[in-house]
Every structure is written in structure tokens, then in C-alpha cells.
Amino acid sequence: MGEEREVELPGPTLGGRSNANAGDHHAADASSAQRPSPEELKRVLARYRDWPANHQGDPMLSRPLSVGGRGDANASGHDATDASSTQSPSPQELKRVLARHRGWLANQQGDEMLSQPLSVPDIYLETIEPAYPDWRGEALRSPARAILIKANLLDANLSGANLRGADLSGADLRGAFLSNADLRGANLAANLSSSDLRGADLRDADLTGAILTAAKLAYANLAGANYAPASEPPYPFVAGIKGLSKVRVPNREETGLVQLRKLLQEAGLRVLEREATYSIEHARTSEMMGLPSVIGAFFRRAGFQWTTAYGLHPFRAMFLIMLIWLLGVPVYCWSIINDPGGSQQGGGIYRILPANRIVGRAAEPQIEKEPKVLRVQAADWWSAVPAAAYFSLLSAVNIGFKEFTPGDWIRRLQPHEYTLQAEGWTRIVSGTQALLSVFLLAMWVLTQFGRPFQ
């Protein structure tokens, strides 16, 4: 060992030169004659870390320096494989950590997501250098969850690694290779800047507070993940991302997903953009569920989520228009076959023949100058269905804007000139159907050809 420089600090010393330990290491001394620089202070503390590591007889002082030691017990009773934040694990140590993690996964029989038999091959452990063909023995001897809190994994190669349920919070994963890695349920509140997460399985992972600047997310699966990074946007190539409509967003932390949606929009990935919009708006509606905004949340859910899923399914609005049309048929059949009996409150459907209409045979047409009103009637349900279906259709499209009048276009298909009007409760039903149909048609147009929620 080279010559050690004594660093002096005011106050009591950390240990005199006469108190060297059995391993012939000197104690880090600090006296009151000198103020150390930051570099000198770090050197003193590094020596002090070496000193208790050699006192194996004292459990209070002994502390292994290697990564992958036995740490605190996890929730299931197995030891956790711990990686200290002061060191970078070697490739061999990292393999040992993940081999023990595979053993821990195999013991989680109560958790369907985590349990996996050891007979399943592990591409990372068996093929990524340095290969670890005997990892099953380590997994059986020392099953332990991978606790890599604040571990230095800069540029680590973890492609295809099985890290389900691992704790990587605070880890430095800048530039790490995590392509096709299994990160389901992992705590990834870490620095993932410029990391490669292409094809990674991030289902149910926690990315709250993660740094994803320039991280590659193409083809990753984010279903069920808590996505709330606190950084600049990821790498612009974002094709093939799965599960965006099932992403969970913590309260008032939609910024990260908004950034990702902008990248999707710029890339022309409209379907993925719609999925991101759904997750964002669903989260905002959920935030409003408490008083006093619960009424607004209900109208958002009924008007936007149930109709088009915030633009994710635009044609759902057209389907609902058709459904309302079909539901209106039996209602109007009831109005047709039941005679109101002259009551002012009765309902009915009436055919209005206009004045100056053409009547008579085609060979001898005549002009009827007087208008005429006839009640639409039928003897039974089956004979009432055609008239009821036609009136329900007219009620659904009884809208217009300037030259856009679908109701008039349909009426031009009639063999004779007349209009249908309802009275009483039938008129109320018809008006309600028309209003709902107008709203649904507007939702379809806006979400199919625009971006009303951006």
C-alpha cells in the first residue's frame, strides 16, 4: 500500500495511528491542525469503509464490500439480493444477483405474475457473456429478490434479463441495454437516460419519477404501467409501443404521457396517439371523482368516454346511433297500434299530405289543393314495424346544417310526397332521439377527423 497522508479534522479523531487493526491497515486519522479538501475527505471515508469490512468478528462492524451480498429479508421471507450504491457490480456479480432472483421468482407460487419454474431457460444468464450455465444451483441455494436500489448499472448489458418484481429505484441505468428484458412489476424510478428498452415487457412496472430522456421505448409493452417520468421526452422513434390505452397515470402527473403523445403525433402514429389520449383523459376524469367535481366527472364519462372513449373508438358513436334507432322501433310500434282515443295527452304518429300535391293515376294526374292529415295505424306489431322503423330513422337523422340535411335526402326516396310528425309522448321520445343522435354524430365527426381532446 502506498504512503498514506494524514488528514486532520477539528474535534476527536477517528482512530490513532497506534490503533492499526490486525490486518495491518492504518486507521483514518483526523486532528484539529488542518481542514481537509473534499477529495481528502472522500479518501478518509473510503479507508474507513475498508476498516470495518475486515472486522469479521464484530457483527456491528463487519460489512462486505461485494455486490450481491445477503441483505434485508423481503416480504415473502426470502433474503433480498442487495446492490450497494457505492459500487458497480461486475458482470459476474450481476449474474449471481439475477440467478438468485430467478430462485425467488420460482418460490412466488401465490403470485401468478411472478411464479416461473426454474426449468424455463434464461437467455440472459445462459447466453450473454459471461455465461452462467450453472445458475440454477445458485437459484436453489440462495433464492433472493433483486434489490438494486441506487446501484451503478451504467451501460450494463441486461438484454433479455428477467427482472420481474425487482427494485431498481434510484439505480443509474444510463445507457443500459434492456431490450427484450422482463421488467413486469419492477420499480423503475431510476435514471434510464439513453437506455435501450426496445421490446421490453414493462407491464405493471412503476416509472413514477423515472428519467427517460432519449430512452428507446419502441415496441415496449406499457400495459398497466405507472407512467409518470420526470424528465425530457424519450427517443423520438416510438413505433410499436403496446398497451398505451391501459397505462396508469398518477394524479396530476400527465406531463410524461403528453410528451409521449406528441412524439406519436409527429411520427404519424394516429392509433397509438389515440391510445395515449384515452389514458390521459381517463386519468383526468378519475381525478374529478371527488366532491364537488363529481358531477362534471359523470358528464365527461357519459359524454366522452362511453361514446368514443375520448376518441379511441370514433365509430362507437355511429354504432350507438344505430342502437338508438333500433331501440326506437318497438316504442314507435306501440304508438302506432294503440289508438289515443281522442285524448289530448295521447301519442301518435301522423302522415301529413301537403297542399298542391299530385294525386290520381299516372295516366290522369290531378292536383289536390287541400292538405290532409292521416294517423299512421296498424292492426298488429308486425305490420307496424316498417312504419316505426322508417320514423325512427327519420328521427335519428332529423338534423341539418345549410345544405347538409340527411332527413330531406331520405324523404326524397319516398314514392309519394308527405311528412311524418309525432304528437304527445311520442314527440318527446322522437325529440330526445334526435338530440342524442346529433350529439353522437358530432362526436364521430370531431374524433374521426380532429383532435378535440388536445
Confidence of residue 109 (pLDDT cuts 50, 70, 90): low
Q: Both 91 and 210 in a single domain?
A: yes
User: Which of 10, 40, 63 is the C-terminal boundary of a domain?
Assistant: 63
Over residues 152-157, mean pLDDT? 94
Reported confidence tier of residue 283, pLDDT bands at 50, 70, 90: very high
Task: Please indicate, yes or no, whether residues 90 and 213 belong to a single structural domain of this protein.
Answer: yes
pLDDT band at 400 (very low <50, low <70, confident <90, very high): low
Domain total for the chain? 3
- The answer to whether residues 399 and 435 belong to one domain is yes
Same domain, 59 and 114: no
| Domain span at 33 | 1-63
- Looking at 282, 308, 334, the residue that finishes a domain is 308
Quick check: is 454 in a domain?
no
Write down the pLDDT at residue 40. 75
The residues, ordered by sequence, that sit 6+ positions from 396 with a Cβ below 8 Å of its Cβ are: 321, 324, 325, 328, 433, 434, 437
C-alpha cell at 327: 331501440
Q: Do 113 and 166 belong together in one domain? A: yes
Residues in the chain: 454
Beta carbons of 352 and 419 less than 8 angstroms apart: yes
Helix (H) / strand (E) containing 385 = helix 381-396
Examine residue 147 and state whether it is found in any structural domain, yes or no: yes
Q: Quick: pLDDT tens for 344-399.
A: 456 789 999 888 888 777 677 788 888 899 999 898 899 999 999 999 999 888 76
Split at pLDDT 50, 70, 90, the class of 28 is very low
Cα 114 to its chain centre, rounded Å, is: 21
Comparing C-alpha atoms, which of 126, 214, 123, 134 is closest to residue 161? 123
Q: How many CB atoms lie within 10 A of CB 319?
A: 13
Residues 159 and 92 in one domain: yes
Query: Which H, E and C letters describe 192-205, residue by residue?
Result: CCCCECCCCECCCC
Terminal CA-to-CA distance of the chain, rounded, Å?
65
Helix axes 270-287, 255-266, angle to 10 degrees: 160
Please indicate, yes or no, whether residues 287 and 422 belong to a single structural domain of this protein: no
Task: Give the DSSP H/E element, type plus range, for residue 348.
Answer: strand 348-353
- Is 73 part of any domain? yes
User: Is 433 within the bounds of a domain?
Assistant: yes
- Is residue 273 domain-shared with residue 418, that is, in the same domain? no
Question: Within this chain, do residues 336 and 296 fall inside the same structural domain, yes or no?
Answer: no
- Measured distance CA(444)–CA(407) in Å, rounded: 18
Statement: residue 167 has pLDDT above 50: yes
Residue-wise pLDDT tens digits, 34-85: 677 777 777 766 665 555 444 444 433 433 333 433 333 333 344 455 554 4
Domain end position, chosen among 45, 63, 81:
63
Residue 165 has pLDDT above 70, yes or no: yes
Other CB atoms within 10 Å distance of the CB of residue 153: 23
- DSSP bridge pairs for 349: 422
Residue 236 forms part of a structural domain: yes
- Find the angle CA(435)-CA(436)-CA(437) to the nearest 5 degrees: 90
Of the pLDDT bands very low, low, confident and very high (cuts 50, 70, 90), residue 158 is: very high
Residue 134 falls inside a structural domain: yes
Alpha carbons 242 and 252: distance in angstroms, whole number: 23
| 206 beta partners | 187, 226
The whole-number pLDDT of residue 189 equals 96
Sign of CA dihedral 54, 58, 63, 68: positive
Same domain for 97 and 178, yes or no, is yes
This prediction's pTM: 0.74
- Same domain flag for 355 and 207: no
* Domain-located, residue 301: yes
* pLDDT band (50, 70, 90) for residue 181: very high
353 found inside a domain: yes
Residue 110: per-residue pLDDT: 59
Same domain? For 49 and 91 the reply is: no
